[in-house]
């Protein structure tokens, strides 16, 4: 199985699929091609929240604002999963999460991940390495076999420190637990505002009113815990505090978007 994720929209992903299908008849599954455009951190978030649900596969991730420069193509192996994409940090968070999702369900040391550089020859275009570099590489790696990755000529083992990091910012919770300050990691298609504040900040507060900027919202475990059109604070499916609206858009009610600072006070 090869999964595909990108910020390409339409129709560029089709060229990647065609290139792959010239080489292999394995199953292809789209993760999404609507990752936040050229936003490596937000793309890394969404990959982390979706790809670990898949069974072992080659996962192709192309969000690549540095396309055509000398940034490397890298491969990260985690157990029976392989991630391949540009060396800009987009693969790191999902790689770590995949490690945590292994059979023992415990976080592992980062050095359990194996890093490789994928050496490619001058591609046909300088602006579409998804088609000309990453898709062929995914097909080659898939057919060669994840377990024997290091015997591929194009692949060179490298250290984790040789690759670009991607760190999500940390939230802070004050000593009396009445205020948390964090950042909006992403917003979703429903207009839900997903922060980096741990969901545990809301534990035991169901029914209370919290203040976010000029908006006051009730803590509830479900959207329908408030009336239609009313704002709410909840622990989202990613485990973080979300600023949402029942049948509406949190982005509008809270006037928040990706990378905004968010402070919640009780």
The binder of a second copy chosen from 172, 174, 237, 257 (CB under 8 A): 237
- 231: exposed, middle or buried (C-beta count within 10 Å: 0-12, 13-18, 19+)? buried
Q: State the Cα angle at 74 between 151 and 36, rounded to 5°.
A: 145
Q: Check binding of 121 to a second copy (CB under 8 A).
A: no
What one-character DSSP code corresponds to residue 3? E
Is 51 near a second copy (CB under 8 A)?
A: yes
162 touching a second copy, by CB under 8 A: no
17 lines the binding site for a second copy (CB under 8 A):
yes
CB contact at 8 A, 98 and 170: no
Which span (81-89, 120-128, 150-158, 171-179) binds a second copy, by CB under 8 A?
120-128
Q: Does 26 bind a second copy (CB under 8 A)?
A: no
CA-to-CA distance for 194 and 211, rounded, in angstroms?
16
Number of CB atoms found within 10 A of residue 47's CB: 27
200 binds a second copy (CB under 8 A): no
Distance (Å, whole) CA 46 – CA 80? 21
Burial class (CB in 10 A: 0-12, 13-18, 19+), 18: exposed
Assess 67 for contact with a second copy (CB under 8 A). yes
- Where does this chain touch a second copy (CB under 8 A) — which range of 50-58, 84-92, 106-114, 255-263? 50-58
Q: Which stretch binds a second copy (CB under 8 A): 112-120, 164-172, 209-217, 219-227?
A: 219-227
Instruction: Evaluate the omega torsion of the peptide bond into residue 11 and state whether it is cis, within 30 degrees of 0.
Output: yes
Binds a second copy by CB under 8 A, chosen from 2, 40, 44, 52: 52
The whole-angstrom separation of Cα 152 and Cα 158 is 14
8 is a contact residue toward a second copy (CB under 8 A): yes
Q: Cα separation of 62 and 87, whole Å? A: 10
- Kindly indicate which of the ranges 86-94, 109-117, 142-150, 218-226 contains the residues binding a second copy, using the contact rule CB under 8 A: 218-226
H/E stretch holding 23 reads helix 12-23
Which range of residues in 31-39, 146-154, 169-177, 257-265 is near a second copy by CB under 8 A?
31-39
Residues that bind a second copy (CB under 8 A): 1, 3, 5, 8-15, 17-19, 21-22, 25, 27-35, 37-38, 46, 49-55, 65-69, 124-128, 131-132, 188-190, 221-224, 234-237, 242, 247
């Amino acid at each position: 199985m090869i999964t595909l994720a990108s910020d390409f929209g339409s129709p560029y992903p089709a060229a990647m699929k065609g290139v792959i299908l010239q080489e292999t008849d394995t199953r292809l599954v789209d993760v999404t091609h609507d990752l936040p455009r050229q936003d490596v951190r937000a793309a890394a978030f969404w990959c982390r929240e979706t790809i670990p649900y898949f069974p072992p596969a080659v996962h192709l991730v192309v969000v690549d604002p540095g396309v055509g420069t000398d940034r490397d193509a890298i491969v990260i192996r985690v157990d029976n999963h392989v991630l391949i994409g540009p060396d800009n940090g987009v693969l790191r968070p999902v790689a770590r999460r995949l490690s945590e999702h292994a059979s023992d369900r415990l976080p592992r040391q980062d050095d359990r991940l194996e890093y490789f550089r994928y050496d490619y020859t001058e591609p046909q275009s300088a602006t579409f390495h998804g088609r000309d570099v990453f898709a062929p590489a995914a097909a080659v790696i898939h057919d060669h076999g994840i377990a024997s990755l290091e015997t591929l000529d194009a692949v060179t083992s490298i250290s984790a420190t040789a690759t670009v990091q991607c760190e999500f910012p940390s939230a802070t919770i004050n000593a009396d637990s009445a205020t948390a300050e964090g950042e909006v990691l992403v917003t979703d298609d429903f207009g839900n505002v997903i922060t980096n504040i741990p969901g545990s900040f809301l534990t035991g507060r169901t029914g209370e009113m919290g203040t976010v900027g000029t908006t006051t919202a009730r803590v509830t475990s479900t959207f329908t815990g408030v009336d239609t059109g009313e704002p709410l604070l909840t622990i989202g499916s990613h485990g973080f505090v979300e600023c949402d609206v029942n049948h509406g858009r949190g982005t509008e009610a809270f006037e928040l978007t990706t990378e905004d600072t968010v402070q919640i006070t009780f």
